Each structure stands twice: as C-alpha cells, then as structure tokens.
Structure 1
C-alpha cells in the first residue's frame, strides 16, 4: 500500500508538530513489506492520502483521504478565534468529505459529530503518546538544564506555545495566580509572554525558557515539582502524558478530554478555579502514576488499519455546478 503523508507541519514546535513527527516515524517502523509512506501533500499514484493536520486537508484529494482533527475549538469559540475566511471554511469542508477522520479522544469525536456533518462511523479515535525521549533523566542532565535556564531547586512547570495569546490556555491568568513556587513556562514565546515576567504579582518568580529540545524538555519535566495545566478546553493534552512519562505529577483542569486521557492519573480541579489548580500542583507528590500504556507504535498500527479499511473506497466526486 502506498500512503501519501503530509509532513509539512513537522517543524511546528507545538503539539501538532510532535504528532506529525512521532506518527510519521512510527508509521515507517510498523510498515509491512509492501507498505510505502510518501512524504507529500499532493497525492498522486497512491492508495490513501493522510493529512495529519487540518491545514493540509484537501477538498478534492482524488484518492481516499484521512484527516486528523485534533480539536474543533475554533468552531466552539468563534468569538475568540477569528479564522472565518474562505480558506478556513474550505478546510472544514475537506474534513466533512474525508473518508475517515481520526480524533485523539472520544471527547473530540463527540465534538466533530456535533459541529460538523461527519457521522460517527467515519470517525476513528486513536490516542497519542509521549515521545520516546520523554523519560526520567539522570541528575547530570537535570543539573545542566537548571544551569542553562536558571531554574530554581523547586518549581512548577507549564509547557506549550506562546507565539500568540490563546484564550483557552489562560497563560496570563495562570501567571497572575498567587503561588509559593516559581512557575517555569516552556515553549517558543513572543514579547507578550515575556512581559508577564514584569507584570505578575503572584508572589513567586516567573521564568521563560523559550523553545527547548526534547532532551532538555524531559530534563525540565524531571526537575519540576509538578506540571500545572490550566487549559479550559483540550483535544488531548499531550504535555500531561509527557510529564507522567518523566515521573512528574500533574494538576490540570477538569475538561472531558483530560478526564478521558488521564483516567485518574492526575489531580483535576474545576475549570474556573485556578487558585485550586495551583494549590493542587503545590500539594502533588512523587511518585507520579505511569502514563497510559499506549505508544506511538500502537497509534501507527491503528492508523495502518484505517488506511487498509478505506483504501478501496473511492471518494465521490462533488456535484457539478450549473454553468
């Protein structure tokens, strides 16, 4: 089987980039003898096209198409996400026409059924997993990241992209919430995020590391007292399972996807109570529960099953418009 796989988003430092990189590597590792994965967003002479992000979804793919939809937050919160132009609508039209939609959780699958014209039988729920680099790191690596980024002996950590304010992540609100331990924000950041260091009155320092490598991120997780995850809406919440894989406790807001993914492995607090979230992170203790027993190889095998199931289903041509 020949599969066209769109890897253009692999360089994204956010969770979508990690999903594309990890799934692509796992697809190659689990391919059978007659399986070929072609890195392209222009499917030609292939059996299936997979767009692992909505930006690559094709309205007229010409071959059976799989689209991974990580969440539908822009559809649920239109007043906060102003992507309402023609390109935005065409991407969701491509999702509606796809032969299969992959969602990382049943919570997202429910949203897709509710918000888009996609029946449940065309949706496959395939979970994500920590990258292989996410594991507890030895003392020398932990000491190295402490020195490199000026990290204190004890701190809380938050992980994500800060190129622009994301209303659901609530980074500014979290930074302003009173706390005893310093808060370390890990991820690529713009000026608005750096300004939080000067404006916060939370009672403990705020430290930004900027973008870090996977090995450095694993060492930061290992060094942290706990991961604090303030999102009020999530599709999967990859940093939470990454932290658990590094032995770090997790405190998060109680949203459907996180409740599903973590399944009792973290302290969940009401979405509207950030002081309780910070208090839960302070009270967290090691050892943290192990992450869910699911790997990227498991995800790849489930994805290959989807490819084989739809390979013989030719996409219907959209009706011709009258001249």
Structure 2
C-alpha cells in the first residue's frame, strides 16, 4: 500500500509534534512492506521537514487552511500522487479519494475557546466539519477524547482509541545537576509544573504551592512560555521558559513531584514522562488524566486550590510508593505499540 502522512506539525515543538515524529519513526521501523510518503507544507521551516525525509510544498498554515478547510479543493493526490491511505495532520483536512485517517489529539480549542487565539478556534471548527463528513477513521489518544468527539458529532463507529507514550528517558544525576545549575534552580528541593496556560491551571498551582508550605525549603519551577497567563517570578517560584527535551528530562528526574492539575488534556504525555523519570505525579481527577495515570498518581480536584495543596502534601509524603507505581505504569505504553495499532487502523481499508 501507498500511505501518505502529513508531517507538517513536526516543526512546532508541541505534543502533536512529538506524536507525529514518534509515530512515523516507529511505523518506518516495523513496516517494511508498505510505501510511506511523508510530506509537509511550509515556507520558513522547510529544512526541518526535509531533514525528516519529507517532501516539502510551499504551503504555509494559513494558505493550507484556506485551500483545504475553507474551499476544500485541491485533493492531496495532486501533490503526492495516487495513494491508498491518507493520514492527515490536526490542522488541515484536504480532500482525497483514498481511505482517510486522521488523529484528533484533543478538542481544547473548542472546549476552552478563550484560552487560545480566535483564529485557532476557527481553524479547528472548519476542519472538524470535514472530519465529521469525510474521514473514514479517527484516531483518539484516550477514551475521554473519544467521548468529546462523539459529543461534537463524530460517529462512534469511526473512532479508534490508540494511546501515546512517554518521550523523555530519565537523566543521570550529573545531568540533573548541570541543568539545575544552568537555570539557577539551586540545591533546594522543588516541585515541577509543565506548561503555562489557563488550561494548565498555573494560577491555582501557585496558590496551592503557597498553601502547601512552599517557600525557602521548597521551590516551584515553572517550565514553558506563558500563553494568555501573566506570571511573574517571586521568592520560591522560578520561571524557566522553554527548555529542551533533554533538559526537561533532567528537571523531571530531579523534582520532588510533577504538579499537573490540568483542566483538560487529550492524553497527557507529561504524566508518563514524569513516571519514566521516577517523579511522583499530582494530577486531575477527571478528563484523560485518571485514564493515563492508572492509579499511579495522586488525583485532585483541579478547580480546588486546597485539594491541589493536599495532593502536593500527599505526594511529598509518599514519594517512594508513587515512584514505584509510576515506573510500573509507564511500561504499559510504547510508541511501537502506538504504531502497530495505527497499522491495524490502516488495514481496515480492506
């Protein structure tokens, strides 16, 4: 079979980027019979796409949205030739005569429209219209996302749940100390929070940190660039900005716990990354988080500062047991398994 995959998203450094890269790498490693055609649209980031082995077309995101989501013209075969299967990205939905597969990672822009730019909301609405109308199989990373898709009108019989996996292996102690020194974290114990957005619940995390006794003997380290949230550094709170995957692994490994009471996740890779690095996790008691955590994390009410604070205290008091549970839980997931289950979806063409 000829399988075309839109890999445009690998250049953006997001969870979708991680998924796309890991899925394709594992598909190519285990499937030697089918022909894979990787392609992407970009004007400024074409070198990164080429380095990944993709054909690059001079189609920036806005143009792709206009052609494929608004007008819905120019079948993808016009660019890649005749194919049997087309796996589209999460941004555009070109028409195609092939068996059409897409992955919907979450519906955050539609469920929390005030947390992102209005144009992003509009793009996802336009694309979802064609997903509902034309896509043969929709891959969701959790049963929570499957439920959301059904709520938004996607037929249940077309949805397949395929879990994702962790990305960051644990760092050695030398690397942990190097990264702590680089970012001036110091030798004080710290909690880690990944992502600074309204849905990542950063403001409540800071309040819960204070309530749990954070300060001189326990810091809060925030990773990521603030998006629609105004956060300032103060005593006990360090704002690191964006860090590399390697540095993030070191921060997980050195942390007392990951505090991740997100208001919504399609999956929640940071939970598994923390588990893999031997880092206890405090996360939300709804959305996809309990499904991913599988009883290996401290679950809290993300809308309650006191609940988050109590969760932090509980995690700090039972680190050994939580670390052991997390290391066992993360073994249930692998990108190889993700790829194999995706190939099963492709085989439903017959």
TM over 0.5: yes
Q: Residues 137 and 148 (structure 1 numbering): CA distance in 2 closer, same or farther, change over 3 Å? A: same
**Paired residue for 1:317?**
none
Q: CA deviation at 1:182?
A: 1.2
Which residue pairs with 2:348 in the alignment? 309
Matching of residue 56 in structure 1 with residue 95 in structure 2:
no
Q: Which runs of 5+ in 1 are unaligned?
A: 199-203, 313-323
Listed as ranges, the gaps of 5+ residues in structure 2 are 42-75
Q: Which moved more, 1:79-88 or 1:4-13?
A: 79-88
Distance 1:108 1:192, change over 3 A: closer
Question: What is residue 318 of structure 1 aligned with on the other side?
Answer: none
Give the CA deviation at 1:72: 1.6
Partner of 1:129: 165
The alignment status of 1:95 with 2:135, answered yes or no, reads: no
Q: Is 1:11 aligned with 2:11?
A: yes
> Counterpart in 1 of 2:245?
214
What pairs with 1:1-323 in structure 2 (closer than 5 Å)? 1-40=1-40, 42-43=76-77, 44-53=81-90, 55-58=91-94, 60-78=95-113, 82-83=118-119, 87-96=123-132, 97-116=134-153, 118-131=154-167, 134-152=168-186, 153-160=188-195, 162=196, 166-177=197-208, 178=210, 179=212, 180=214, 181-189=218-226, 193=230, 195-198=231-234, 205-284=236-315, 285-286=319-320, 288=323, 289=325, 290=327, 291-310=330-349, 312=350
Mark the CA change 1:84 to 1:243 in structure 2 (over 3 Å): closer, same or farther: closer
Relative contact order: is structure 1 or structure 2 higher (C-alpha 8 Å, sep ≥ 6)? Answer: 1
**Residue 30 of structure 1: CA displacement?**
1.6
- CA displacement 1:252-298 (0-9 Å, x = unmatched): 11113111111101010123223322332243213512225120010
Q: Tell me if structure 1 keeps the 8 A contact 2:110–2:125.
A: no
Distance 2:122 2:244 in 1: 36
Higher helix proportion: 2
Instruction: State the Cα RMSD in Å.
Output: 2.2
| Alpha-carbon distance change, 248 to 86 in structure 1, aligned in 2, over 3 angstroms | closer
Q: 1:321 maps to what in 2? A: none
Q: 1:225 to 1:299 in 2, by over 3 A?
A: same
Q: How many residues of Structure 1 are paired with residues of Structure 2 in the alignment?
A: 296
Q: What are the superposed Cα offsets for residues 228-266 of structure 1, whole Å, 9 maximum, x if unpaired?
A: 002112111110011001110000111131111111010
